[in-house]
Structure 1
Amino acid sequence: MRTIRNGLVLALGITMTALGATACSGGGDQQTPAAAGPNEHVDLTLATFTEFGYEALIPEYERLHPNIKITHRKTGQGGPYHEDLVTKLAAGSGLADVTALEEGHLSDFLDKGSKFNDLSKIGPADASPDRWLPWKYEAAKTKDGKLIGYGTDIGPLAMCYRKDMFKAAGLPDDPEAVKPLFATWDSYFAAGADFVKKSNGKAWFDSAAQNFNAMVNQLPQGYIGNDDKLAVESNQGIKDAWTKVTDAVAKGESAKLTAFSNEWNTGFKQGAFATKVCPAWMLGVIKEQAGPENAGKWAVTAAFPGGGGNWGGSYLTVPTQSKHPKEAAELAAWLTAPEQQIKAFQAKGTFPSQVKALSDPALLSKTDDYFGGTKVGELFAEQAKKVQKPQYKGPGDGQIQENASSPALQAVEQGKSAADGWNQMVEAAKKITR
């Protein structure tokens, strides 16, 4: 479970621009070093952030490969971790043999393909495309078809809600009965307006930015077009999403909380909002922040406005800095095999992206008493299959989400007009991509 999805600061854009110039002058992929002999000792480093569920898997791999010793560099926060990767990538040294990238930051590395090995060429044969959900596999490809990462976990989206608050407002509260409320974004916001009226002004959702981000991620094209140019003003889908979210804010549907802030955390415990955009890893956040006293009050249903979506997940890459790329690719492939991903899921709740893992009895039988005994493994496996092709995310996409759209929506929640908030987002996005 990883709860920090976007951590790059605006200043990172400057560093990435400089890195782009360095990468472009590299003259293509570096020559791959020869593989080690069968009995030759190999030291590998593995860099991850927050929780991947690899603590028990690393010694298992070492037992299976006595000549390999793995040093695991694990950091706590995704934002600083990715900033450090940019510095090391530009310096040409310091990266781990196997380096994790979070999907929210992937766009800032995909155009630096010369800095990563093509796993479709150096990886083992069993790490074939059909191991993964198609959209997960395709998202890690560069424009010229180079595969820079093996998919680890994903964050298929469902909707979480407070059963007690629904019931008090006269709304259906059974997980099946509420599905029509969450069928489309129009039905979702209409139900929210109804809830606000019936509950004497209680908020329907936590944050405008959380909903807006999910809506934008469902579009065929996001903030950056396929030509790597800013597409905010030309993308009608983004404009429509902005209008719907800000209209809901005007109707009092938002609790006006900044995601992952102390106030947001407290909001779960105090019942500050009735619904929550809910990727698979969010269940752990809700349990931690709402606390045992709210067990059974929260529910999750296999429905999401617009069908499906994904928020979160990572990839394992092998930078060209590695002196042992073949061995590193074999480690990355083993860690992302269905069998290991089931073990990681059982250890830390990281939801697997592998097709075989999604039908594993250990996943499908997983229930959660906090959410009324719901079969959450089966539920999120169903939601994962609803996601279609990946949205192209060009350089700066994650920074626009964090440093342009989210602050602008927070400004609207604090009283700025929707039109002025839109202009704020557009201007901030232009500065990021300049």
Structure 2
Amino acid sequence: MLRSLLTCASVLALTAAAGCASSSTPSDTPSSTANGPVELTIATFGKFGYEDLLKQYEQAHPNVKITARVTGQGGPFHQEFLTKLAAGSGLADVQALEEGHLSDFLDKADKFNDLAEIGPKDADASRWLPWKFEAGKSKGGKLIGYGTDVGPLAMCYRKDMFAAAGLPSEPDKVKDLFATWDSYFAAGDTFVQKGGGKAWFDSASQIFNSMVNQLDTGYINKSDDSLAIESNPKIKQAWDKVTGAVTRNQSAKLTAFSNEWNSGFKQGAFATKICPSWMIGVIKEQAGPDNAGKWAVTDAFPEGGGNWGGSYLTVPKQSKHPKEAAELAAWLTAPEQQLAAFKAAGPFPSQVKAIEAPELLATTDAYFGGAKTGEIFANQAKKVTKAQYKGPKDGQIQENVTSPALAAVEQGKSPADGWQQAVDGAKKLVR
């Protein structure tokens, strides 16, 4: 879903400065199948950076032939994934799965191989950031996916607009403004008063989604997959804070990834942006060269940290070569290969050794004033402490219920009526 929104120019942006080292040579250990060639398929969407890596794997494993299926759009990819999963045929040996769609598949764990059982023994929890590894498990503890990339959250902002409003503008000086959601919205009030009619943030749903994703319990209770939108008071508290900011004119009232939202970057329609690692490329592409040096990024995010984006590699039970498929998926997600994929296409690594690698930490971005983007996002990734449980319909509640309700508030509906719209819509999805 997210990956398909990024053009090649977007994802390459994060690697604009110090180049990453090339990936290590694949292991020379032969595949476990000795009788004839093993034909594997891998299905991905958008830009995973696997083109050269798959060739390297074939060279090191002469008895393995790999066919790659690449789909441009994440939405259609996952719809087809669900259809073929239910039908019991048609899936690749290795299927990518984006974290925004994860909740639609975790309750179907019986249709996936447990990678903890069939995968290489060294592809264990110690490789990954703990929260990334845990998010790939079903409620029953089955590991259905090896983590690929992540989207650690920082805050991007317009230095010139901050300075014009009398706010601190240097990255090391703005961190207090972004320490908590209360301090963030308080700074927004100051900006609105002195910002010359510009908005503080782009979209209410972008802010609200980030706040809800930080909670211990999101829209779905882990114990019984029941709806938590009313029983968890912190969701309503987040709603009140965001919609309160909307009524105080902090929102630019833009729909993310719309043409108007894209134009908003060029026009300076808002001063701050929720900024996962991949958003760096989006800002550069949409704001354009005329705004180079005006945007900055800092390693601060309200209430600590968060994640938006990232994927997994799964091995459906439909695979005729599950062990070989698991070996391929484990290799592609190993630290050396994650660094190579980062260099090739920009997805930020989820492996501990990869995000601690000197070549990644040395990455800078001239568009953002020479910011150490590799170090910033590595630090932010480590701040995430727990993976929130994503039960059935979780993603649909966010995309089809709360986001439209927040847009309605931005267009004049009262926050109370918007909340009721969100609650009613969630109840229709989760019965």
Aligned partner of residue 263 in structure 2, secondary structure: helix
The equivalent of 2:212 in structure 1 is 216
Instruction: Give distance in 1, aligned partners of 2:308 and 2:381.
Output: 11
What letter corresponds to residue 360 of structure 2 in structure 1? Answer: L
- How far apart are 1:125 and its partner, in Å? 1.3
Contact 1:36 1:324 in 2 (8 A): no
The equivalent of 1:273 in structure 2 is 270
Question: Paired residue for 1:398, among 395, 400, 404?
Answer: 395
Instruction: Give distance in 2, aligned partners of 1:200 and 1:293.
Output: 20
2:346 maps to 1:349: yes
Instruction: Give distance in 1, aligned partners of 2:258 and 2:122.
Output: 42
What letter corresponds to residue 185 of structure 1 in structure 2? Answer: W
- How far apart are 1:39 and its partner, in Å? 5.3
- How far apart are 1:2 and its partner, in Å? 4.2
2:54 maps to 1:63: no
Contact 1:47 1:72 in 2 (8 A): yes
Instruction: Give distance in 2, aligned partners of 1:52 and 1:40.
Output: 29
Question: Paired residue for 1:51, among 47, 72, 85?
Answer: 47
Aligned partner of residue 142 in structure 2, secondary structure: coil
Q: Deviations over 1:181-228 (max 9, x none)?
A: 000000000000100000132100000000000000000000011110
Aligned partner of residue 373 in structure 1, secondary structure: coil
Aligned partner of residue 137 in structure 2, secondary structure: coil
Q: Deviations over 1:232-264 (max 9, x none)?
A: 011111000000000000000000000011110
What stretches of structure 1 move > 4 A for 4+ residues in a row? 1-5
Q: Deviations over 1:247-291 (max 9, x none)?
A: 000000000000011110111111110000000010011011111
Percent of matched pairs sharing the same residue: 73
Contact 1:201 1:252 in 2 (8 A): no
After TM superposition, the score normalised by the length of structure 1 is: 0.92
Contact 1:3 1:282 in 2 (8 A): no
What letter corresponds to residue 109 of structure 2 in structure 1? Answer: G
Contact 2:4 2:72 in 1 (8 A): no
Instruction: Give distance in 1, aligned partners of 2:171 and 2:278.
Output: 19
The equivalent of 1:335 in structure 2 is 332
Contact 1:3 1:285 in 2 (8 A): no
Instruction: Give distance in 1, aligned partners of 2:143 and 2:424.
Output: 33
Instruction: Give distance in 2, aligned partners of 1:268 and 1:83.
Output: 31
Aligned pairs (5 A) from 1:221-300: 221-226=217-222, 227-300=224-297
Aligned pairs (5 A) from 1:297-376: 297-376=294-373
- How far apart are 1:168 and its partner, in Å? 0.9
Question: Paired residue for 1:72, among 65, 68, 72?
Answer: 68
Contact 2:203 2:253 in 1 (8 A): yes
What letter corresponds to residue 380 of structure 1 in structure 2? Answer: F
After TM superposition, the score normalised by the length of structure 2 is: 0.92
Q: Deviations over 1:321-350 (max 9, x none)?
A: 000000100000000000000001111110
Name the Cα RMSD after superposition: 1.2
The equivalent of 2:19 in structure 1 is none
What letter corresponds to residue 70 of structure 1 in structure 2? Answer: I
Aligned partner of residue 211 in structure 1, secondary structure: helix
Instruction: Give distance in 1, aligned partners of 2:289 and 2:172.
Output: 24
- How far apart are 1:292 and its partner, in Å? 1.1
- How far apart are 1:67 and its partner, in Å? 1.2
2:97 maps to 1:101: yes
The equivalent of 1:144 in structure 2 is 140
- How far apart are 1:38 and its partner, in Å? 2.6
Aligned partner of residue 205 in structure 1, secondary structure: coil
The equivalent of 1:167 in structure 2 is 163
What letter corresponds to residue 308 of structure 1 in structure 2? Answer: G
Contact 1:365 1:377 in 2 (8 A): yes
- How far apart are 1:126 and its partner, in Å? 1.5
Contact 2:112 2:316 in 1 (8 A): yes
- How far apart are 1:400 and its partner, in Å? 0.2
- How far apart are 1:433 and its partner, in Å? 1.4
List runs of 5+ in structure 2 lacking aligned partners: 6-30
Aligned partner of residue 418 in structure 2, secondary structure: helix
Contact 2:156 2:274 in 1 (8 A): yes
The equivalent of 1:388 in structure 2 is 385
Instruction: Give distance in 1, aligned partners of 2:57 and 2:324.
Output: 12
Contact 1:75 1:81 in 2 (8 A): yes
Instruction: Give distance in 1, aligned partners of 2:428 and 2:318.
Output: 32
What letter corresponds to residue 100 of structure 2 in structure 1? Answer: G
The equivalent of 1:432 in structure 2 is 429
Instruction: Give distance in 1, aligned partners of 2:193 and 2:265.
Output: 21
Instruction: Give distance in 2, aligned partners of 1:131 and 1:238.
Output: 33
